Structure 1
Amino acid sequence: MRALIRLIFLLLVVLSLQMYAREYRVNQVPNGTVFRCAMCHINPNGGGANSVFGVQVRTGFLDAIGNVLWGPALAALDADGDGETNGQELQDPDGLWIIGIANPGAASLVTNPGDATSTDVELADLEKTPDDFQLMQNYPNPFNPQTKIGFKVPVRSNVALVVFNSRGQLLRTIIDAEFSPGDYSVTFDGRDRNGSPLVSGIYFCQLQASSFTKSMPMILMR
């Protein structure tokens, strides 16, 4: 019995240490809290296989005790091969950010250096504050292969924009970040989270923010 209790205790300690390791590394890259564990892991909750950015960090940019060595060298690389460097995607193109200072750039413009499908968000209007959260119908609709999705944010909030199929299965998280009040638009390229093209059909884009949730149908015609 004592051996079993000791084993359970050790397992809990190991799991706690793994969770701590994931969380503290999030704060060792600029704007790391935007995508959190999804930056370095295939599983957005952390653990398991690393993303391409995670592999890059693990194999060449950790110190002797496992801290991330963020700087010009890591910032200059393009882990996911999407044409933007790690630094550009994290709003620190020169790799000058250090722990303890404010995150650079705007969180709403951060993209995931470990995901080539991660999407830039365009700010349409920051001067006029919207009255309510809104999800606009995508345009064009039907579309092939890309379409723009507009949304409005009345107060500073964490906003997620996701795509489901007709069976309610989550196919893609387009954005999941904190936004200031304003009108925004994002381009959806008709691909799932793995970068694979979706087949023709009806899909649903959903905006999630605070207590607001709204979905819109999108028709993809290949």
Structure 2
Amino acid sequence: MKRLIIFWCLFYGVTTAGFAQIDVTIPDTKAEKGTSVVIPVNVSDLTNQGVISYQFVVTFDENVLDAVGAISEETLTSSWGFPYVNVNVDGQMTVGGYGIQELSGAGVLVKLQFTVVGEPGEKTDLNLLLFVFNAGDPIADVHGGVFTVSSSNRIGVEKEMKKLRSFYLEQNYPNPFNSRTAIKYKLSERRRVVIKIFDLLGQIVRILEDKSKAPGCYLLYWDGKDDNGNSVPSGAYVYQLMADRVKIVKKKMVLLK
């Protein structure tokens, strides 16, 4: 048994000694009820670490924050395009990204978007779970943050809250998909809805919806074809919902043939 323990210690030391460690942190943040807040996920220097993908889960109190999505604009991963986001589980957001170009430098990896729904003074931990770079190398040393709802004397906060929560775009299913995928969205009031599909170069591939819609749940299907009826190649695509030209929500999907 003693020899086995010594062997395990030596083996563990050898197999982990070559793995670099990257600090991943979420800063403490404050914002008022009824506002949208963007919270960065920061990383230490990724230079020469060969990072071409990441994935993690962030958990929070859904009574304080309502998950909207994630963006990569002005981050280390901006060249990778839109991150993959799943917010179908209350109090949880799954985020991932991948690209051909290796990441380098320190800074913001990705930005998380929320709507503040809690009351002034309420707090929630932002916990980072299951964080993985590539297939586990380099190792992520994660540190979550705390979000606090700050006090506000602004007039019309409840009106703004209603506006922010008046529609919701769900993740397509199945994803990845082969021949057809479903896209569901919900409206709590009448809105002019435009849903477009883009490739990763930002070019419009298909316009699925462009009309005024009454409150309710709606289901659309995309068959992997453009507006001219031509089949598009396999790859990642982004679908975007815009309501009354006010707010835009984007999600990523993958077509595999």
Q: Same fold (TM over 0.5)?
A: no
- Counting strand residues as a fraction of each chain, which structure ranks higher? 2
For CA contacts below 8 A with separation 6 or more, give which structure has more relative contact order: 2
Q: Return the index of the structure with the highest Cα Rg.
A: 2
Higher helix share: 1
TM bucket (normalised to shorter chain) is 0.3 to 0.5
- After TM superposition, the score normalised by the length of structure 1 is 0.41
Length-normalised TM-score, structure 2:
0.35
